[in-house]
Amino acid sequence: MSAERVAAETPGTPEFRAVRVVIIGLMLGLMLSSLDFVIVAASMRTIADQLHGQTLQAWATTAYMVTSTIATPLFGKLSDLYGRKKLYLLAIGVFLTGSLLCGLAGSMYQLAAFRAVQGVGGGGLTALAFAIMGDVLTPELRARYQIWFSAVSAVAGVAGAPIGGLFAGADTLLWIDGWRWAFLINLPIGIAALLVVQIKFTMPGKRRAQRIDYVGASWLIVCLGPWLVVSEQGRHWGWGSPLTLSLLAIGSVGLVLFLITERRMADAAVIPLRLFRNRMFAVINSANVIVGVGVFGSLIFLPLYLQLVKGQTPGEAGLMLILQTLGVLTTSRGLSKVINRSGRYRDFLVLGMGVVAGTLFVFASLDQHSSLWLVGLLIYVLGAGVGICFPVTLLALQNTSAKEDMGVSSAAFSFFRGIGGAAGTALFLAMMFSMAGSRIAQSVRQAGRDAGFRAAMGDPAVVAHPANGPIVDIVRGSGELSLDDTSFLLTADPRLAGPVVEGIAQAMSTVFLVGGCVMLIGFALAFLLPGRAKDLAAPETSVPEPEQAAS
């Protein structure tokens, strides 16, 4: 055992204290991004209603994920060249700027633009947290501190969901619209993170003269941008329309040019293609794309499902989402040590993918009358599956990456997961809102045979109520229901709102079904991993000198 490793593991030594300070700084950064994701997800229904853009919420969600995805490998590469500290401070600063702008947004399109700014900082926070952790910790210490990082995610999940519900449910807080605090709450946390990193991270960075693949990053934007726009707007334009086909073609050209650029840039590329020769790297990141599609796409729907289908308030939905965090904590706590000790990456990934897929299939079978206890149990089990998938993929990737590739490998982990998350969110939201109209119309027609529905339509007071107007217009054939603002469902007559909710529930069931099928692909991919870690020629990882660890 090396002297550096002994010192880093021995309480009271300067090396041990230095590692602890680094970990605390990373935890604050992860708290910042994790808390934001949970709070915004819990508040999004109210935010979209307030900005009259419920059907446009994919723009706000995917804008963050696209810029985060593209920024992730760039921050990882830049930090390999110039040191971690400067880039980490920059990531926090950009994230806080985006958060402030989001809190001032006046429309859904403005919010999407500002979320894009926020995503740049979020991508840096995620990439650098894992890269720095890989720098300063041996595999054994990573497993130990993984519990700390899991605890941060747990706290963010437990606190974030009800906080988001509180903000969304409040008309104003300190004379500011309640939902705006979903973004403004980041400011005090971020300032604390900035101070800790600036004052306590004293390890100097080292600059190396190498190329940075800005051209590759630009072609990646050309690739992802048009495809994600099509996934959100294709239902309006028509999937075979000239505009849709043109954007798909532009994205395809961007992908080809991105791959050509990456091959020419070699090790200076955003994602060096040589890394894909490593079987673990290729399989894990393919699985990461699937996890991103299935997990992030479905997680966006949990708050919507609880509020639109089960009729919960934002605060009640936030409390229910705590069950998901508890599920993540149950499986991830201590799991990292078991994974490292056994080396059975394949078995754990198969288990995690199977649990998530099975849970989504059960979700697809529910309707608006399903027991809330069953819904809560499924939310918990879904979290447990996620708590298996994320630690095993990260540990498998870091433990089989060479030290000089630790930054770019860790960035690639978040990069591919982000690609899947952005695609899944855009596609699933587009799928739901494209199907919701026809499902609602069908449900309303069937409700015409219900005595309670007919009685409500025959009551002049009910018909005259403003909240019932959109539904009455559908029944009379004089209007088309707009889901850009769903707040009318909160006060509409339950007899009239029931068919609308049933139509939304049917559309969401289809989305959960598709998400389960996507996770089955990941389930199959997991079998491509070797049975045990010893079957791979993994590079040896050591703890760097404290003064070189991360800056």
pLDDT band at 354 (very low <50, low <70, confident <90, very high): very high
- CA 141 → CA 283, 360, 533, 542, distances in Å? 25, 34, 17, 11
Which residue, 484, 504, 524, sits at the end of a domain? 504
Which tokens belong to 124?
């840096």
- 321 with 431, same domain: the answer is yes
Question: For 374-404, what is each residue's pLDDT tens digit?
Answer: 999 999 999 888 888 877 887 777 777 776 6
Question: For 524-533, what is each residue's pLDDT tens digit?
Answer: 988 887 766 5
Q: Which of 71-85, 275-289, 392-406 has the highest mean pLDDT?
A: 275-289
| 176 within domain boundaries | yes
- 231 with 88, same domain: the answer is no
Q: How many CB atoms lie within 10 A of CB 455?
A: 11
Question: For 299-328, what is each residue's pLDDT tens digit?
Answer: 778 888 899 899 888 888 888 888 887 888
| 209 within domain boundaries | no
- 413 with 353, same domain: the answer is yes
Q: What is the pLDDT of residue 91?
A: 93
Return phi, psi of residue 176, to 5°: -120, 140
Question: For 402-424, what is each residue's pLDDT tens digit?
Answer: 766 766 777 677 778 878 887 78
For residues 422 and 205, give the distance between their C-alpha atoms in angstroms, rounded to a whole number: 33
| 208 within domain boundaries | no
Look at residue 218 and tell me whether its pLDDT is greater than 50. Answer: yes
* Lowest mean pLDDT, pick from 184-198, 200-214, 300-314: 200-214
For residues 123 and 79, give the distance between their C-alpha atoms in angstroms, rounded to a whole number: 13
Look at residue 14 and tell me whether its pLDDT is greater than 80. Answer: no
Q: Which of 146-160, 193-207, 209-223, 307-321 has the highest mean pLDDT?
A: 307-321
- 190 with 291, same domain: the answer is yes
Which residue, 504, 520, 545, sits at the end of a domain? 504
Q: What is the pLDDT of residue 143?
A: 64
How many residues would you count in the chain? 551
Q: Which of 10-14, 204-208, 297-301 has the highest mean pLDDT?
A: 297-301
Amino acid at 409: S
| 546 within domain boundaries | no
- 247 with 300, same domain: the answer is no
Which range of residues forms the domain containing residue 262? Answer: 214-269
Q: What is this structure's pTM? A: 0.79
| 543 within domain boundaries | no
Q: What is the pLDDT of residue 123?
A: 84
Q: What is the pLDDT of residue 381?
A: 94
CATH number at residue 330: 1.20.1250.20
| 53 within domain boundaries | yes
For residues 43 and 314, give the distance between their C-alpha atoms in angstroms, rounded to a whole number: 7
Look at residue 369 and tell me whether its pLDDT is greater than 80. Answer: yes
Q: What number of CA atoms fall less than 13 Å from residue 52's CA on the CB side? A: 2
- Listed in sequence order, the residues at least 6 apart from 179 whose beta carbon sits closer than 8 Å to its beta carbon are 43, 46, 47, 50, 167, 168
- 276 with 286, same domain: the answer is yes
- Listed in sequence order, the residues at least 6 apart from 492 whose beta carbon sits closer than 8 Å to its beta carbon are 465, 467, 468, 471, 500
Give the count of domains, the chain: 3
Q: How many CB atoms lie within 10 A of CB 372?
A: 12
Q: Rounded to 10 degrees, what is the CA torsion of 200, 206, 210, 214?
A: 10
* % of the chain surpassing 90 pLDDT: 19
- 517 with 499, same domain: the answer is no
Question: Residue 13 burial by CB count (10 A; 0-12/13-18/19+): exposed, middle or buried?
Answer: middle
Q: Smallest Cα–Cα separation from 477: which of 445, 434, 435?
A: 445
Look at residue 448 and tell me whether its pLDDT is greater than 50. Answer: yes
Look at residue 209 and tell me whether its pLDDT is greater than 80. Answer: no
pLDDT band at 183 (very low <50, low <70, confident <90, very high): very high
- 148 with 185, same domain: the answer is yes
Question: For 463-487, what is each residue's pLDDT tens digit?
Answer: 888 888 888 888 777 666 778 888 8
pLDDT band at 537 (very low <50, low <70, confident <90, very high): very low
